[in-house]
């Protein structure tokens, strides 16, 4: 497999009928008509009228055309795996059951698995991703291998990745003490469960010395322009306060960010009140965990008192609309986040509504999902969604100084779409190119994806990695008989799942209804 490695970008002109450069405010996006961008060795050197730039640079390659729409590269701020849970045999279930059901999955090679979803992301215009690596068994020193394989896959495609290995140190099967839960299981399951969970136990003191510092030595904190290292305690329920405060200390020491799943489901909201007597956000504020370095994944069940805390501490929310719908988690109060000045980015999580990674569709879903009934109710604007998918996502993954806008000096991460096809056979000129993007753009309209000035994808073909070869290797691997370990995990999952469901039977849950209704709107 060949890869992008460190191949230089050279010089090129990117042309479009319209160039959407950056969001100016909640209603407007700076738009250039019949324009072009000159990129030199990966950076935007000039922006202006195509005719003039072409006259000045008659011999450079032209990407795009007079029928193209050019936008900044999109950012998927929450991603986990390549092969989707559906492909590996898990139906959509509430999160508390779904994660245990996934123990039945085959375990594809992390390099080829990552390539699979990277192909889908790049083809939909995604140039950077927050990859949240799955929790792994001890020892901690073994985690660097999987992380390196994932990062290598993105680098070989030519894509940016902010990588974090998810961690946990408690409540490994349910939102309660492990040993207490095991004691309530049938005797024939107790030792097996205890032994399985023991494999995930690790010394928190080993995390920095045996995982994070070796990864920093290998990739640097900002030495590799395509890579950022992040931290990711999996969620409040499965991370002790000791783990959270240790994570905060590491983030401050190394100047890196944290991504934490929070208030994703009604059961998680109930957990916070059962355990702390307050909301998840209020507890995080109390232990000093909040700050502008923090992105909270989901935030579906945020409470009224949380908005001010999130805004005051500069926390970003990553909204995962498809995932929340598929797993019956609820609808996040995104319009309220925006109204309160809280930054919102977008993530696809495991997979979108079509069981793929299509950021263009995810943007459209967000647009239509957050429409409270009523003539005068506030809706998300196309400009707001554009900012979520570009600038806000870049900032939430550690790339905010380099990408997210098409501006002089920024790195040339951009997407070229076939505007003529998007508007066939007729679209009223009253519709702005931004509105056309949000309402009509599909993956099939993406003609080129450029990252750091290199065209990594053009007309359905990837420049540096053979997609057909990758998919063939994945198919051969997963068509082979399951290993003894995979069969053992599948059997355990089937037997333990009814007991996990039973654990939550007496939990009193908040009403599952949109946030604006809960607040009398």
| CA–CA gap between residue 507 and residue 465 (Å, rounded) | 49
Number of helices (H) and strands (E) in the chain: give both, helices first.
23, 18
Of the candidates 128, 130, 71, the one whose C-alpha atom is nearest the C-alpha of residue 385 is: 71
**Cα dihedral 444/446/448/449 (nearest 10):** -120
Half-sphere exposure of 429 (CA within 13 A, CB side): 0
Confidence (pLDDT) at 364: 97
Question: What φ, ψ does residue 160 adopt, rounded to 5°?
Answer: -85, 145
Pairing of strands 126-133, 160-167: parallel
Strand, coil or helix: what is 297? strand
- Residue 371, number of CB atoms within 10 A of its CB: 12
> pLDDT per position in the chain (521 positions), as tens?
445 655 678 999 999 999 999 999 999 999 999 999 999 999 999 999 999 999 999 999 999 999 999 999 999 999 999 999 999 999 999 999 999 999 999 999 999 999 999 999 999 999 999 999 988 888 999 999 999 999 999 999 999 999 999 999 999 999 999 999 999 999 999 999 999 999 888 999 999 999 999 999 999 998 999 999 999 999 999 999 999 999 999 999 999 999 999 999 999 999 999 999 999 999 999 999 999 999 999 999 999 999 999 999 999 999 999 999 999 999 999 999 999 999 999 999 999 999 999 999 999 999 999 988 888 777 899 999 999 999 999 999 999 989 999 999 999 999 999 999 999 999 999 999 999 999 999 999 999 999 999 999 999 999 999 999 999 999 999 999 999 999 999 999 999 999 999 999 999 888 755 555 544 33
Confidence (pLDDT) at 510: 80
What are the start-end ranges of the H helices in 331-456? 334-339, 359-369, 382-387, 393-396, 419-422, 433-440
Confidence (pLDDT) at 3: 56
**What six digits make up the tokens of 293?**
């370095």
- 75 forms beta bridges with 128
Confidence (pLDDT) at 518: 47
Query: The whole model's pTM is what?
Result: 0.95
Question: Angle of helix 467-479 relative to helix 110-123, nearest 10 degrees?
Answer: 140
| Coarse DSSP helix, strand, coil percentages of the chain, rounded to the nearest 5 percent | 40, 20, 40
Edge to edge, what strands does the sheet with 294-298 contain?
258-262, 294-298, 316-319, 344-346
Task: Spell out the residues 6+ positions from residue 510 whose beta carbon is closer than 8 angstroms to its own.
Answer: 266, 269, 270, 301, 518
Element (H, E) at 497: helix 484-503
Confidence (pLDDT) at 475: 96
Confidence (pLDDT) at 310: 98
- Residue 453, number of CB atoms within 10 A of its CB: 23
| CA–CA gap between residue 21 and residue 27 (Å, rounded) | 14
The residue behind tokens 């409540």 is 171
Confidence (pLDDT) at 520: 37
| CA–CA gap between residue 466 and residue 477 (Å, rounded) | 17
Element (H, E) at 472: helix 467-479
Burial class of 277 by CB neighbour count within 10 A (0 to 12, 13 to 18, 19+): exposed
Confidence (pLDDT) at 8: 75
| CA–CA gap between residue 259 and residue 165 (Å, rounded) | 10
Confidence (pLDDT) at 5: 54
**How far from the centroid of its chain's Cα atoms is residue 298's Cα?**
10
* Domains contained in the chain, CATH given: 11-72+407-467 (2.30.40.10), 74-396 (3.20.20.140)
């Amino acid at each position: 497999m060949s890869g992008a490695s460190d191949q230089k970008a050279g010089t090129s002109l990117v042309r479009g009928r319209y160039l959407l450069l950056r969001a100016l405010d909640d209603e407007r996006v700076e738009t250039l008509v019949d324009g072009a961008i000159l990129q030199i060795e990966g950076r935007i050197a000039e922006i202006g009228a195509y005719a003039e730039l072409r006259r000045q640079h008659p011999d450079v390659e032209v990407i795009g055309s007079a029928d193209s729409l050019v936008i900044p590269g999109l950012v998927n701020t929450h991603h986990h795996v390549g092969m989707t849970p559906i492909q590996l045999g898990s139906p959509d279930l509430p999160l508390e059951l779904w994660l245990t059901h996934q123990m039945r999955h085959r375990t594809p090679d992390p390099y080829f698995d990552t390539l699979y979803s990277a192909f889908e992301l790049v083809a939909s215009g995604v140039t950077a991703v927050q990859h949240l690596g799955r929790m792994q068994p001890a020892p901690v020193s073994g985690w660097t291998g999987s992380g390196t394989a994932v990062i290598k896959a993105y680098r070989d495609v030519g894509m940016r990745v902010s990588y974090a290995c998810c961690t946990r140190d408690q409540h490994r099967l349910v939102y309660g003490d492990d040993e207490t839960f095991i004691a309530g299981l049938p005797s024939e399951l107790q030792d097996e469960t205890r032994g399985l969970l023991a494999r995930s136990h690790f010394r928190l003191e080993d995390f920095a010395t045996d995982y994070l510092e070796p990864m920093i030595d290998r990739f640097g904190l900002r030495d590799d322009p395509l890579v950022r290292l992040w931290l990711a305690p999996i969620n409040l329920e499965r991370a002790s306060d000791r783990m959270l405060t240790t994570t905060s200390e590491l983030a401050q020491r190394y100047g890196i960010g944290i991504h934490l799943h929070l208030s994703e489901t009604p059961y998680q909201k109930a957990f916070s009140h059962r355990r702390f007597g307050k909301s998840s956000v209020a507890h995080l504020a109390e232990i000093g965990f909040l700050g502008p370095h923090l992105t909270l994944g989901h935030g579906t069940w945020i409470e009224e008192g949380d908005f001010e805390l999130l805004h005051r501490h500069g926390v970003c929310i990553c909204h995962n609309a498809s995932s929340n719908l598929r797993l019956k988690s609820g609808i996040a109060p995104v319009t309220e986040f925006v109204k309160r000045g809280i930054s919102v980015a977008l993530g696809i999580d495991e997979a979108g509504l079509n069981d793929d990674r299509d950021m263009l569709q995810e943007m459209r879903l967000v647009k239509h999902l957050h429409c409270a009934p009523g003539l005068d109710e506030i809706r998300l604007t196309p400009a707001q969604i554009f900012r979520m998918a570009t600038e806000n996502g870049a900032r939430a993954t550690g790339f905010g100084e380099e990408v997210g806008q098409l501006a002089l000096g920024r790195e040339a991460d951009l997407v070229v779409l076939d505007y003529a096809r998007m508007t066939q056979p007729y679209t009223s000129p009253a519709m702005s190119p931004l509105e056309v993007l949000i309402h009509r753009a599909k993956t099939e309209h993406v003609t080129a994806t450029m990252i750091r000035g290199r065209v990594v994808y053009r007309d359905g073909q990837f420049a540096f990695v053979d997609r057909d070869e990758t998919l063939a290797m994945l198919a051969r691997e997963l068509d082979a008989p399951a290993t003894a370990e995979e069969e053992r995990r599948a059997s355990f999952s089937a037997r333990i799942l009814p007991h996990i469901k039973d654990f939550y039977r007496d939990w009193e849950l908040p009403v599952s209804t949109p946030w604006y209704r809960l607040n009398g709107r």
